[in-house]
Protein backbone atom coordinates (compact mmCIF):
# COMPACT_ATOMS: atom_id res chain seq x y z
CA UNK A 1 0.00 0.00 0.00
CA UNK A 2 2.83 2.53 0.75
CA UNK A 3 4.18 2.02 -2.79
CA UNK A 4 0.76 2.89 -4.22
CA UNK A 5 0.65 6.17 -2.25
CA UNK A 6 4.18 6.96 -3.38
CA UNK A 7 3.25 6.33 -7.03
CA UNK A 8 0.12 8.49 -6.75
CA UNK A 9 2.15 11.27 -5.16
CA UNK A 10 4.76 11.12 -7.94
CA UNK A 11 2.08 11.16 -10.65
CA UNK A 12 0.32 14.08 -8.94
CA UNK A 13 3.56 16.06 -8.66
CA UNK A 14 4.39 15.35 -12.30
CA UNK A 15 0.93 16.58 -13.32
CA UNK A 16 1.38 19.78 -11.30
CA UNK A 17 4.78 20.40 -12.90
CA UNK A 18 3.39 19.81 -16.41
CA UNK A 19 0.36 22.04 -15.83
CA UNK A 20 2.55 24.73 -14.30
CA UNK A 21 4.89 24.64 -17.27
CA UNK A 22 2.00 24.76 -19.74
CA UNK A 23 0.52 27.76 -17.94
CA UNK A 24 3.75 29.75 -18.26
CA UNK A 25 4.18 29.17 -22.00
CA UNK A 26 2.82 32.17 -23.86
CA UNK A 27 0.65 31.39 -26.86
CA UNK A 28 2.00 32.23 -30.29
CA UNK A 29 0.94 35.67 -31.48
CA UNK A 30 -1.81 35.83 -34.02
CA UNK A 31 -0.66 36.51 -37.55
CA UNK A 32 -0.78 40.29 -37.87
CA UNK A 33 0.11 40.72 -41.57
CA UNK A 34 2.15 43.89 -41.00
CA UNK A 35 3.50 45.30 -44.24
CA UNK A 36 4.25 48.91 -43.26
CA UNK A 37 4.58 48.96 -39.49
CA UNK A 38 7.58 47.15 -38.03
CA UNK A 39 7.24 43.42 -37.36
CA UNK A 40 8.66 43.89 -33.86
CA UNK A 41 6.01 46.41 -32.80
CA UNK A 42 4.37 45.52 -29.52
CA UNK A 43 0.66 44.78 -29.32
CA UNK A 44 0.28 47.88 -27.16
CA UNK A 45 2.01 50.14 -29.69
CA UNK A 46 0.01 48.63 -32.55
CA UNK A 47 -3.28 49.13 -30.71
CA UNK A 48 -2.32 52.71 -29.89
CA UNK A 49 -1.52 53.51 -33.53
CA UNK A 50 -4.75 51.90 -34.74
CA UNK A 51 -6.74 53.84 -32.10
CA UNK A 52 -5.14 57.06 -33.35
CA UNK A 53 -6.15 56.22 -36.93
CA UNK A 54 -9.72 55.55 -35.83
CA UNK A 55 -9.90 58.86 -33.97
CA UNK A 56 -8.28 60.87 -36.79
CA UNK A 57 -10.75 59.50 -39.35
CA UNK A 58 -13.71 59.09 -36.97
CA UNK A 59 -14.15 55.47 -38.06
CA UNK A 60 -14.31 52.07 -36.40
CA UNK A 61 -12.02 49.10 -37.00
CA UNK A 62 -14.42 47.70 -39.62
CA UNK A 63 -13.62 50.65 -41.90
CA UNK A 64 -10.38 48.91 -42.92
CA UNK A 65 -10.74 45.45 -41.39
CA UNK A 66 -13.33 42.91 -42.45
CA UNK A 67 -14.93 39.73 -41.24
CA UNK A 68 -13.71 36.58 -42.95
CA UNK A 69 -15.93 35.27 -45.75
CA UNK A 70 -17.74 31.97 -45.57
CA UNK A 71 -16.47 28.98 -47.51
CA UNK A 72 -18.24 30.17 -50.69
CA UNK A 73 -16.49 33.53 -50.44
CA UNK A 74 -19.78 35.39 -50.69
CA UNK A 75 -21.13 36.08 -47.20
CA UNK A 76 -19.20 37.37 -44.21
CA UNK A 77 -18.85 34.92 -41.37
CA UNK A 78 -20.46 36.10 -38.16
CA UNK A 79 -18.05 36.95 -35.39
CA UNK A 80 -14.88 38.93 -34.99
CA UNK A 81 -12.97 40.87 -37.61
CA UNK A 82 -9.97 39.21 -39.23
CA UNK A 83 -7.33 41.91 -38.74
CA UNK A 84 -4.81 40.05 -40.91
CA UNK A 85 -7.13 39.77 -43.92
CA UNK A 86 -6.26 42.17 -46.77
CA UNK A 87 -8.78 44.23 -48.72
CA UNK A 88 -8.82 47.36 -50.87
CA UNK A 89 -9.40 49.82 -48.02
CA UNK A 90 -6.58 48.32 -45.96
CA UNK A 91 -4.21 48.57 -48.93
CA UNK A 92 -5.20 52.22 -49.36
CA UNK A 93 -4.49 52.82 -45.67
CA UNK A 94 -1.06 51.25 -46.16
CA UNK A 95 -0.35 53.64 -49.05
CA UNK A 96 -1.33 56.57 -46.81
CA UNK A 97 0.90 55.25 -44.02
CA UNK A 98 3.85 54.93 -46.42
CA UNK A 99 3.21 58.45 -47.68
CA UNK A 100 3.16 60.01 -44.21
CA UNK A 101 6.22 58.01 -43.10
CA UNK A 102 8.07 59.15 -46.23
CA UNK A 103 7.10 62.81 -45.74
CA UNK A 104 8.09 62.74 -42.08
CA UNK A 105 11.35 60.88 -42.72
CA UNK A 106 12.46 63.14 -45.55
CA UNK A 107 11.21 66.49 -44.32
CA UNK A 108 10.83 66.37 -40.52
CA UNK A 109 13.23 63.73 -39.21
CA UNK A 110 16.33 65.52 -38.04
CA UNK A 111 17.22 62.96 -35.35
CA UNK A 112 18.56 59.80 -36.99
CA UNK A 113 18.17 57.84 -33.74
CA UNK A 114 14.36 57.98 -33.97
CA UNK A 115 12.40 55.70 -36.26
CA UNK A 116 10.29 57.75 -38.70
CA UNK A 117 7.22 55.62 -38.02
CA UNK A 118 7.31 56.76 -34.37
CA UNK A 119 7.81 60.52 -34.87
CA UNK A 120 5.41 62.87 -33.11
CA UNK A 121 4.16 66.36 -34.02
CA UNK A 122 4.62 65.93 -37.75
CA UNK A 123 2.33 65.03 -40.65
CA UNK A 124 -0.39 62.68 -39.46
CA UNK A 125 -3.65 61.29 -40.78
CA UNK A 126 -5.42 64.27 -39.25
CA UNK A 127 -3.29 66.71 -41.28
CA UNK A 128 -5.36 65.92 -44.38
CA UNK A 129 -8.38 63.99 -43.11
CA UNK A 130 -9.35 66.48 -40.38
CA UNK A 131 -11.68 63.98 -38.73
CA UNK A 132 -13.17 62.64 -41.97
CA UNK A 133 -12.91 59.10 -43.38
CA UNK A 134 -11.60 60.54 -46.63
CA UNK A 135 -9.19 63.49 -47.02
CA UNK A 136 -10.86 66.89 -46.91
CA UNK A 137 -10.86 68.76 -50.22
CA UNK A 138 -10.61 72.52 -50.41
Closest by CA position to 97, among listed 123, 120, 121: 123
Of residues 7 and 45, the one with the higher pLDDT is 45
pLDDT of amino acid 87: 92
Give residue-wise pLDDT tens across range 40-91: 999 999 999 999 999 999 999 999 999 887 667 676 777 788 999 999 999 9
Closest by CA position to 136, among listed 92, 125, 23: 125
pTM of the model: 0.66
Question: In DSSP terms, which residues pair with 76 in a beta bridge?
Answer: 69
As a whole-number percent, the residues of the chain with pLDDT over 90 amount to: 39
Q: What is the spatial distance between Cα 94 and Cα 64, in angstroms, rounded to a whole number?
A: 10
pLDDT of amino acid 118: 63
Domain ranges of the chain: 43-129
Amino acid sequence: MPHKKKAITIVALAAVVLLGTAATITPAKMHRNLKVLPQDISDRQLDSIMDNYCRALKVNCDFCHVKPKDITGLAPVTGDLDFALDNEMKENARRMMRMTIDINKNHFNFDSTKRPDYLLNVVTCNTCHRGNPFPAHE
